[in-house]
Structure 1
Amino acid sequence: MVLSGKNYTVEDYMKLNDGKRYELIGGELIVVPSPRPRHQRISAKILLQLGKYIENNPVGEVYSAPIDIVLDNHVVQPDILFVSNDRLDIIGELNIQGAPDLVVEILSPSTAAHDKKKKGQLYFKYGVKEYWLVDPETKFIDVFVAGEKEWRWIGAFDQEDVLTTTLLPGLKISLSKIFQVSLK
């Protein structure tokens, strides 16, 4: 849901204190609904794998939502992000001021188009190196890396695949474990 009638600024965003989650894109304040349990399970499993990797290979820091990423006059909250050691100076006391190296968005029915288009464009424009779009419905992860003028699609990975990335050498995520979701 977009709140209209005003062109919001980062300063306006930072003053919000009503218990709701928002993102700020192009002056529009967007209410971000709470994620569903399946979304949270998948997020936790990816975060756990990235956390284990970082513990064994201290090459940076990994975070999960809600955390604000300030990109000029926009504020977004990706589901998971990674910032490499050589860029840790973008991590401030209140938020992250600049593009993470890796952003992971887990698609929800209410936010999928927003995550794919608007946020994807912002991530590219401001210098995210790699972007994962996780689709819990189809059980696919689309991986994109920053090209010269646009995202380069590396591929779609499903439950039968092991996800690797040159951004984090040696990282291997078995997607069968990520998408294995018990309904109990």
Structure 2
Amino acid sequence: MIARTKKKLTYQDYIGFPDDGNRHEIIDGDHFMNPAPSVYHQAVSRRIQFQLYTQIELKQLGIVADAPIDVQLTPHDIVQPDLVIVLAGRSIITPTKIKGVPDHLIEILSPSSDYNDRVLKFNLYEREKVPEYWIVDPFEHEVQQCLLGPSGYQRSTHESRVRCSYLGGEIEVDLSAVW
């Protein structure tokens, strides 16, 4: 659901949104609100996070954070991705949010977020040069991996395993353990 405003909203507007159990985001200055994710959505997120956590965070290679976490990409773009990976040595994590472009963002589709995740966030993440973006489809049991190249995102679809492009390609998610 979109609530159109006359002025482009910023992080200051964002922090004034109600804590009402909905997911509030600002994309290109417009306010978007979605209901809390389903139990299945959360289970899929947790299973992916667990695999990434054991391969990244436990080895002190970075952090794997889950929603709700604020990611401020620009003054007018504040999102709450399902999963966020920031590799070690980056200084974009503040006490209240991630301010800057993470190394990897993951969105898990739900009926209420499908358009935002596939179109609005895809365009936003590509424009802001997020190196890797996954669109996880829990209904079709596949992951669309979007890797940033010179002319934008290059997409590939995975149904059994998906390997991250960073850290030498050593990080992999076994999708049979996700669904």
Please indicate, yes or no, whether the TM-score normalized by the shorter chain is above 0.5: yes
Cα distance change on mapping 1:18 and 1:164 into 2, 3 Å: closer
Q: Once superposed, which parts of structure 1, at least 4 consecutive aligned residues long, lie more than 3 Å away?
A: none
Q: Percent same amino acid among aligned pairs?
A: 34
Q: 1:86 aligns with which of 62, 79, 89?
A: 89
TM-score, structure 1 length as denominator?
0.89
What's the counterpart of residue 173 of structure 2? 173
Change (3 A) 1:127 1:86: farther
> Residue 57 of structure 2 contacts residue 64 of structure 2 at CA under 8 Å; is this kept in 1?
no
The structure that is helix-richer by fraction is 1
Alpha-carbon separation, structure 1, partners of 2:176 and 2:104: 21
Matches within 5 A, 1:41-120: 41-72=43-74, 73-87=76-90, 89-120=91-122
| Cα distance in structure 2, aligned partners of 1:91 and 1:55 | 15
2:71/2:98 contact within 8 Å kept: yes
Q: CA deviation at 1:139?
A: 0.4
- Aligned equivalents of 1:142 and 1:127: distance in 2? 17
SS at match of 1:16: coil
Give the corresponding residue for 1:164. Answer: 163
Indicate conservation of the 8 Å contact 1:98/1:126, yes or no. no
SS at match of 2:122: helix
SS in 1 for 2:68: coil
Q: 1:176 to 1:29 in 2, by over 3 A?
A: same
What TM-score do the two structures reach when normalised by structure 2? 0.91
**Superposition deviation, residue 166 in structure 1:** 2.8
Q: Secondary structure at the match of 1:86?
A: coil
Please list, as runs of the form range in 1=range in 2, the aligned pairs for 1:139-158 lying within 5 A after superposition.
139-153=141-155, 155-158=156-159
Provide the aligned length of Structure 1 versus Structure 2: 175
Deviation at residue 177 of structure 1 after TM alignment: 0.9
Aligned partners of 1:129 and 1:172: how far apart in 2?
16
Q: Supply the AA of the counterpart residue of 1:86.
A: G
Cα distance in structure 1, aligned partners of 2:175 and 2:5: 43
